[in-house]
Amino acid sequence: MAKKNIKIPLLRKASKSFLWASMLLMVLSTIALFFYVRWLLEKEVEEELFSAEARIESALLAGQHPSSLAPIIEINEVDELKTAFTKDTVIFDPSQDEMELFRELSTYKSINSKSYKISVRVLVVETNQILWAIILSYMVIILLVFVFQFYLNKSNNKKIWNPFFHNLEQMKKFSLLSKEPLQLLDSEILEFSELNKEISQLTGKVRDDYENLKQYTEDVSHELQTPLAIIQAKIENIINGQSLTEIQFNQLASIQKDIQRLTQLNKRLALLTKLENHQFTHRASIDITDLIAQIISNFNEISTISLTFEKASNIMANMDPYLAEILCNNIISNAIKHSSHGKPINIESKNMVLSVYNYGATSIANPQQLFTRFYRENKEFKSTGLGLAIVKKICDLYGYDITYAYINGHHCFSIDFGSTTSTRKLSS
Amino acid sequence: MKLLIAEDEISLQQSIVTYLERDGNVCECASNYEEAIYKVSLYDYDVIILDVNLVTGSGLEVLKHLKKEKKKTGVIIISANNSLSDKLEGLDLGADDYITKPFHLAELNSRIKAVLRRGKFGGDENILFNEIRVDTGAKSAYVLDKPLTLTRKEYDLLLFFITNKNRILSKEIIAEHLWGDNSDLADNFDFIYVHINNLRKKLTSEGAKYIKTAYGSGYKFTEE
């Protein structure tokens, strides 16, 4: 159901239900009032008719003959007596010069041995007018009351909920990276105050846990280095000591290689932690295109894969020189590692965007996971699985957009150095 | 050469001593801060290998002490912390080089030699090995005063070999020396093979056949 997903702000929801309730109340009370007043007025008219008729009757009894006053009073002698009745009738009213609705009471009386038909009438228009006047003034008054109530309620609600909204905004701005505590507004309302307490505790705990985790990563990578150094040193002494068999030597060399992997992993984890801690605050103007050319010449010494560089325009970036080097190095070495069959790698710089293309038979299965640490698309590569995670972290730090696309059988990574959000985060 | 190894991890300290003594160096050890300060005040060393985190104090304090006494000693800092600021602080205080754990002993050895060569310790920029002379100032090499045409990597390789002569060097160590962090890209080490072979050919054509293969896949620079 689509309805489920539509979210209404709290205050609007409260106002809305108030509006509906008051509208219903208004309609129902107006209807009730209408019928009640009409009934009262009809009763009043009837009483009036009967009392006029009684007065005429007593005048006739006293031998007076009140003159007919059509259409209000009509006295006619009739041959036979009928039962009295009341009815609504439309007759011509000469005073108004038009047809009008009257309420009429006709009685038949035998007075002084004569039979009379006495008809008294009252103009209904008048009572109708009274009825509508009452209903209208009622509606106006109740509407005014409701409007007043509505605004009073609204401003009251706003005042009561204000700490809640303020705290909600604070929580939206909550970041694990910032060390500042949440500035929560206290409220005289018990539940809000309890909520604040819980939020403060929860965020405090989350922060502590995060800090601990970071500290742990830092400590582990730090503590690992000394044992690694000892293992490495001992292996070198074994190699240079007593004579070994070729198999023993190869195994020792292979251990050296694994130590190197572990060292790399360690270094990169430490770098990621430092990036998360925002420990890189130095900034300088870096010519990325120069840097790329330099890195390419380095890689040409190690790799037979051909690297071509199309420099349509220079890219200048304002960032930490050390990070700039790691960023460019990682993105190119990633392409070298994953370039199948030694196919060439193309690097382009155009409009502040650096793009690296390498051949790939199929597109990447889980592009959204590419920048996750330890994600390896292909397990056969002995990579640390951190290279791209570092690239992403560096880009995030400076607000550069990094995108992956699979175009014409090539994996393409693009970094937009123009999309920087200037000094965000770094200033904190 | 007289060296002081100030390192609180005894295993590592002894491994360094074992490696360096084979060259005929005299190695003394300090296992904590007080011992380091004591030995530094009493004796003169050519080079001190100084761990930043000595168990009872900071190696950087030892360095400050050295500089205050105006001792002409080369200092190589060892740290478990790969941070740039640590490195800069160490170098600012007057250290000559900085190496991060874990490191190869061959790498440490070649750094020690480089520190000794630098002029301010009265070192010679020329390294001699029989008929081979490497001029580290001009970054060039000669066999019987006839210049060798070497690429930058070949020159680095020759220098690394000579400073670690008579030692067996695996391809892993050589790769890391030449390409640092990027050496993991050279997956099958064919590149090293190419560089070593080229260097070997150039030396052999001048009659200097010193690059030997050891255990099938390692290398050794020796006259044996």
**Chain A with chain B: Cβ pairs closer than 8 A:** 121
Which residue among B102, B153, B173 places its CB closest to the CB of A263?
B102
Mean pLDDT of chain A: 85
Q: What pLDDT was estimated at residue A32?
A: 94
In a domain, A182, yes or no: no
Question: Which of A116, A146, A176 delimits the end of a domain?
Answer: A146
User: Is residue A293 pLDDT above 80, yes or no?
Assistant: yes
Closest-CA distance of chain B to residue A211, Å: 19
**Three-state SS for A92?**
strand
Which residue among A225, A264, A301 places its CB closest to the CB of B101?
A225
From chain A, pick out residues whose CB is under 8 angstroms from the CB of B31. Answer: none
Do residue B24 and residue B90 come from a single domain?
yes
**Cβ separation B9–A226 shorter than 8 A:** yes
Question: Which of B72, B95, B121 delimits the end of a domain?
Answer: B121
Probe site for chain B from A239, A251, A261 (most B CB atoms < 10 A): A239
In a domain, A5, yes or no: no
- The pLDDT confidence band at residue B34, using thresholds 50, 70 and 90, is very high
Distance CA A421, CA A397 (A): 9
Distance CA B189, CA B194 (A): 9
Asked if this assembly's ipTM is beyond 0.90, the reply is no
Which residue among B82, B102, B171 places its CB closest to the CB of A228?
B102
CA atoms within 13 A on the CB side of A342: 6
Do residue B50 and residue B98 come from a single domain?
yes
pLDDT tens digits, residue range B47-90? 999 998 888 888 889 999 988 888 888 999 998 876 666 777 88
Contact status, residue B36 vs residue A253, Cβ threshold 8 Å: no
pLDDT tens digits, residue range A11-66? 888 888 888 988 999 999 999 999 999 999 889 888 988 998 888 888 888 878 77
- The pLDDT confidence band at residue A424, using thresholds 50, 70 and 90, is very low
Q: What pLDDT was estimated at residue A327?
A: 92
**Cβ separation B83–A274 shorter than 8 A:** yes
- The pLDDT confidence band at residue B161, using thresholds 50, 70 and 90, is very high
In chain A, the number of structural domains is 3
DSSP state of A181: P
- What token pair was written down for A318? 């304002």
Is B155 part of the contact surface with chain A (CB cutoff 8 Å)? no
pLDDT tens digits, residue range A295-336? 898 888 777 788 889 988 888 989 988 899 999 999 998 888
Q: What pLDDT was estimated at residue B28?
A: 93
Say which range, A127-131, A137-141, A151-155, has the weakest mean pLDDT.
A127-131
Contact status, residue B111 vs residue B99, Cβ threshold 8 Å: yes
Say which range, A14-18, A155-159, A324-328, A376-380, has the weakest mean pLDDT.
A376-380
**What is the residue-wise DSSP string for B34-71?**
HHHHHHHHH---SEEEEESEETTEEHHHHHHHHHHTT-
Do residue A405 and residue A337 come from a single domain?
yes
In a domain, A274, yes or no: no
Query: How large is the average pLDDT for residues A142-152?
Result: 90
User: Is residue A358 pLDDT above 50, yes or no?
Assistant: yes
A400-407, long-range: CB < 8 A, 24+ apart: A400/A317, A402/A371, A404/A364, A404/A367, A404/A370, A406/A360, A406/A363, A406/A364, A406/A367, A407/A357
Query: How large is the average pLDDT for residues A206-218?
Result: 85
- The pLDDT confidence band at residue B119, using thresholds 50, 70 and 90, is low
Enclosing domain of residue B182: 126-221
User: Is residue A428 pLDDT above 60, yes or no?
Assistant: no
Do residue B97 and residue B196 come from a single domain?
no
Gyration radius from chain B CA atoms: 18
Mean pLDDT of chain B: 86
Q: Least CA distance to B173: which residue of chain A? A: A256
In a domain, A223, yes or no: yes
- The pLDDT confidence band at residue A394, using thresholds 50, 70 and 90, is very high
- The pLDDT confidence band at residue A78, using thresholds 50, 70 and 90, is confident
Q: What pLDDT was estimated at residue B19?
A: 92
- The pLDDT confidence band at residue A67, using thresholds 50, 70 and 90, is confident
User: Is residue B25 pLDDT above 80, yes or no?
Assistant: yes
Pairing of strands B53-54, B57-58: antiparallel
Do residue A413 and residue A320 come from a single domain?
yes
In a domain, A208, yes or no: yes
Which residue among A250, A261, A279 places its CB closest to the CB of B184?
A261
pLDDT tens digits, residue range A103-129? 888 888 888 788 888 888 888 877 888
CA nearest neighbour of A314 among A290, A331, A294, A295: A290
Enclosing domain of residue A235: 190-269
Do residue A259 and residue A347 come from a single domain?
no
**Cβ separation B82–A256 shorter than 8 A:** no
Q: What pLDDT was estimated at residue A79?
A: 82
- The pLDDT confidence band at residue A420, using thresholds 50, 70 and 90, is low
Do residue B182 and residue B211 come from a single domain?
yes
Do residue A212 and residue A339 come from a single domain?
no
Probe site for chain B from A218, A228, A230 (most B CB atoms < 10 A): A230
In a domain, A163, yes or no: no
Q: What pLDDT was estimated at residue B188?
A: 56
pTM (2 d.p.): 0.68
Distance CA A192, CA A82 (A): 79
User: Is residue B30 pLDDT above 80, yes or no?
Assistant: yes
In a domain, A32, yes or no: yes
